[in-house]
């Protein structure tokens, strides 16, 4: 399973990428706005740090403008994946960019049938938003299970990128449901590694080593 960081914070991404465990990054307009940094510079910096797919989202809502923005974003760096909203214009743009050999990520996916449409449009990735579905009282993870089955039934190449991840259990459940990748906020990524018993265990090992006078 590929692990992506869901952030536009260049420093935070750089620190986590040093682990060698980060396969890619997703950004969105809200994350870029939060970073307070220029859009294009930021995504290029991120591309150079991670050396893997970096999703950068179009802002246009009409097909022609989306296509122009998508091509402009793709020209910034070979690792750019053009992120498009789950709309008719977004799907038509996905199809056109795919034909050009440009990688795409159809975002704001809240149902498995939307996922089916993204796959039909030739999307490289589709992003089901697990946490936001949970937020409205439904079972977000069902999206992953259902999309996995649909994609496998028809051998679609589109990768399921579990998004809107809120906690480590989401990462585990997405992995068990067969998501190809998960995009994870920095705070959740850090928690994947941490366990109090690991800290206690390491402390005890080192203390025993020291008290035995070993070097
Ligand atoms: C994914 O590509 C999105 O940027 C992200 O996962 C949205 O997450 P949120 O629901 O926490 O905003």
- The predicted-structure confidence for 165-203, as pLDDT tens digits, reads as follows 999 999 999 999 999 999 999 999 999 998 999 999 999
Domain of 140? 2-211
Q: Which atom of ligand 1 sits closest to the CA of residue 83?
A: 2
SS3 content of the chain, % helix, strand, coil (to 5): 55, 20, 30
DSSP string, 117-162: HHHHTT-SEEEEBHHHHHHTTS-THHHHHHHHHHHHHHT---EEEE
169 CA from centroid of ligand 1 (Å): 16
pLDDT band at 159 (very low <50, low <70, confident <90, very high): very high
Per residue in 63-93, pLDDT tens? 999 999 999 999 999 999 999 999 999 999 9
Residues 6+ apart with CB under 8 A from 163: 6, 26, 107, 127, 128, 129, 130, 182, 183
Distance, CA 132 to ligand 1 centroid (Å)? 8
Rounded Cα distance between 184 and 187, Å, is 8
Residues framing ligand 1 (Cβ under 6 A): 6, 26, 28, 107, 127, 129, 131-132, 163-164, 183
Q: Choose one of 124, 163, 171, 186 to mutate for the ligand 1 pocket test, by most ligand atoms within 8 angstroms of C-beta.
A: 163
Q: Which residue, among 100, 98, 158, 160, has the nearest Cα to 129 in the 3D structure?
A: 160
Tokens of 63: 């097909």
Half-sphere exposure of residue 148, counting CA atoms within 13 Å on the CB side? 16
User: Residue 79 belongs to what H/E stretch?
Assistant: none
Report how far residue 173's alpha carbon sits from residue 164's, in angstroms, rounded to the nearest whole number: 13
Instruction: Report the pLDDT value the prediction gives residue 179, as an integer from 0 to 100.
Output: 98
Q: What mean pLDDT do residues 101-125 have?
A: 98
- Identify the residue whose C-alpha is closest to ligand 1 atom 9: 164
Q: Is 34 a catalytic residue?
A: no
Hey, whose CA ends up nearest to atom 11 of ligand 1?
164
**Cα(2) to centroid of ligand 1, in Å?**
16
* Mean pLDDT within 121-147: 98
Residue nearest to atom 8 of ligand 1 (CA): 164
Q: Band of the pLDDT at 215, cuts 50, 70, 90?
A: confident
What's the 129 CA to ligand 1 centre distance in angstroms? 7
User: Using CB atoms within 10 A of its CB, is residue 79 exposed (0-12), middle (13-18) or buried (19+)?
Assistant: buried
Q: What is the pTM of this model?
A: 0.96
How far from each other are the two terminal CA atoms of the chain, in whole angstroms?
39
What's the pLDDT band for 110 if we cut at 50, 70, 90? very high
- Quote the number of domains for the chain: 1
Domain CATH code at residue 63 = 3.20.20.70
CA of 164 to the centre of ligand 1 (A): 4
Catalytic residue among 34, 45, 83, 191: 83
**Within a 10 A sphere around the Cβ of 100, how many other Cβ atoms?**
11
Tokens encoding 81? 């994946």
């Amino acid at each position: 399973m590929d692990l992506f960081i869901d952030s536009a914070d260049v420093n935070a991404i750089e620190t986590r990428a040093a682990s060698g465990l980060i396969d890619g990054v997703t950004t969105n307009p809200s994350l870029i706005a939060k970073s307070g940094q220029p859009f294009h510079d930021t995504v290029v910096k991120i591309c150079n740090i991670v050396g893997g797919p970096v999703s950068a989202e179009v802002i246009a809502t009409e097909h022609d403008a989306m296509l122009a923005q998508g091509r402009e974003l793709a020209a910034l760096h070979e690792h750019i994946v053009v992120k498009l909203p789950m709309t008719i214009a977004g799907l038509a743009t996905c199809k056109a960019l795919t034909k050009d050999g440009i990688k795409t990520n159809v975002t704001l996916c809240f149902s498995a049938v939307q996922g089916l449409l993204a796959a039909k449009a030739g999307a490289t990735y589709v992003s089901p938003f697990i946490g936001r579905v949970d937020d409205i009282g439904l079972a977000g993870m069902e999206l992953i299970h259902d999309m996995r089955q649909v994609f496998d039934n028809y051998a679609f190449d589109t990768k399921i990128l579990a998004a809107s991840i809120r906690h480590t259990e989401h990462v585990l459940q997405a992995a068990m449901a067969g998501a190809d990748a998960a995009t994870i906020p920095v705070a959740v990524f850090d928690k994947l590694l941490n366990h109090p018993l690991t800290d206690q265990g390491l402390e005890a090992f080192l203390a025993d080593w020291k008290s035995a006078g070993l070097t």
